[in-house]
Amino acid sequence: MKRALLFLTIFFSLNILRAQDPHFSQFFASPLTLNPAFTGLFSGDYRLSGNYRSQWRSIAKPFVTGTMAADFQILKNTISYTDIWGVGFMAMYDQTGGGALTSSYISMSTAYHKGLDPEGNHTLAIGLQGTLVQKRLDNDKLMFEDQIDNNGYNPSIPSGETLVNRKISYFDPNIGILYNGLIGQSSNIYMGASYYHITQPTESFMNEGNNRLSYRWTIHGGGSAPVNGNNRLHGSILYMKQNTATEFTFGGAYGFTLSDMDDNPTVFYIGSWYRWKDAVIPYVGMEIKGFQVGLSYDTNVSTLKPASNYRGGLELSVIFIRTKNQMNKYKTLCPRF
């Protein structure tokens, strides 16, 4: 009964809110889905990242989202010492309804970070991203009202529905801006905004031209400061709106430095974020030898908690930053959370 109640609540909520983009609780660990202006903003030669999320496993079939991304800096010896030009690629996979709807995304992004001072300690960036989107419906995994009889769902009964298109594809452009700055000698702050689905492309499996994908805009920020010597306190905040759906998330993590090496420290992170009226998100992470691994779990505290039993989504993130050149020119503190 609890699973049925939870499923019905989510189902009707999604129908009221229309389609929403897949997103991560660890938004800070998925830079190219948060803001294309993050492309290239790191201290190193290239960055590899991946995310995995499994949500609502208390339902028989969870929603699953995953990404793989890579970005790097180009023309380092050509542009100004204080500037960065980043290029990145990302692939994302999203499955809902046990595979009834599968969405695939292939993105390319670029961002130029302009130094605002002679040392490059403050930068302002604009980023652009183009995404090829493909969505598929599996009619065999859909249930319709006409297939429900006195005994419940009966797949042998014709659904009475005909899908004109089982697959749709379109191009989707996005844009973002980002400020990153050094405060004093060892603290930093960043603030940004992004706007996704600029052209509001049409999404319809029935050839209906009025079903437009709603734009999504995001405002976010964060920073870090040293605490008790080599340890650091990190914090971040996010506000996102798409159609009538909004999300407000804030929190932070404390980083315990276990091995203090300027270019390759070992740090253990523990913290938590809170998504307003929805979930508490405890987080643990580790940074070692260029890798930063994070694990979080959405603990549902919304009105769904009687059905969800406080269960939400498990999420894993991995970021690897490779620095071949130890004299890498960009040493300003970069956003991590």
Question: Average model confidence (pLDDT) for the chain?
Answer: 85
Q: What is the pLDDT of residue 328?
A: 52
* CATH code of residue 91: 2.40.160.40
253: closest CA among 284, 296, 226?
Answer: 284
- Per-residue model confidence (pLDDT) at position 160: 65
Record the pTM.
0.87
Residue 202 lies in a domain: yes
Looking at residue 326, its pLDDT comes to 52
pLDDT score at 310: 53
The amino acid at 122: H
What confidence tier does 281 reach under pLDDT thresholds 50, 70, 90?
very high
Query: Residue 33: pLDDT above 90?
Result: yes
Amino acid at 282: P
Who contacts 195 (Cβ-Cβ below 8 Å, separation ≥6)?
174, 175, 176, 215, 216, 217, 218
pLDDT of 29 higher than 90: yes
The reply to whether 154 falls in a domain is yes
Statement: residue 13 has pLDDT above 50: no
Range of the domain at 171: 31-322
- Into how many domains does the chain fold? 1
Chain center to CA of 224: 20
Q: Is residue 337 part of a domain?
A: no
Structural domain includes residue 333: no
User: Given this model, what pLDDT does residue 34 score?
Assistant: 96
State pLDDT tens for residues 190-203. 999 999 999 999 88
